[in-house]
Amino acid sequence: MAILEILKYPDPRLKKVALPVRDFSAKTVQLVSDMLDTMYAAPGVGLAAPQVGVSQRVVVLDTDHENPGKQVLKLINPVITHAEGEVIWEEGCLSVVEFTADVKRAAQVQVKAFDEHEREIKIEADGLLAVALQHEIDHLDGKLFIDRISRLKRELYTRKRIKSLRNGDEPSHEPARVMI
């Protein structure tokens, strides 16, 4: 069990496009396992490899936080193949501390990916799972949910975050809530 460090905004590595996984190896399996441990410890419902400083297209998800481990998704090289509808969802992020915002997303998505054993997976999702898939795939493309909100809200958050970093302020330890 390894808990990895989760990068926090404005770390520039969060803005880089992740590279496709070409070699499905024991290192990939270990990365997936470590990412799951990290996600559960955070606590979160999703985590993308760039959030832990690894430039690979790997995502882990478990949107059933009432029953951890029952609906785990381990996705390598995920691609949204179809999206439709529209939903506004309040999102937070393990890499964007102390901030949530309403984000417009597709209401339903279809995703194609591979598991850590190179087997193809197809997912049809709506609700939290659809939002979480889009959120995590955005991370693979170097996007954060704050890139999808108004410029004014994003700039206000950025200024507040940079000021707190300059002052050496740590994020408050508010009651644990599950983040995407």
Bridge partner residues of 38 (DSSP): none
Asked if 2 and 37 count as a contact pair (C-beta separation under 8 A), the reply is yes
Bridge partner residues of 118 (DSSP): none
State how far the Cα of 50 lies from the Cα of 155, in Å rounded to an integer.
Answer: 23
The b-or-e profile of 102-130 (16+ CB within 10 A means b, else e) is ebebbbbbbbebbebeeeeeebebeebbb
Nearest to 63 by CA among 157, 160, 128: 128
Choice among 98, 116, 136, 174 that is catalytic: 136
Asked if 80 and 105 count as a contact pair (C-beta separation under 8 A), the reply is no
Q: Does 118 participate in catalysis according to the annotation?
A: no
What are phi and psi for residue 60, nearest 5 degrees?
-125, 145
Would you please indicate which residues are annotated as catalytic (active-site) residues?
Answer: 136
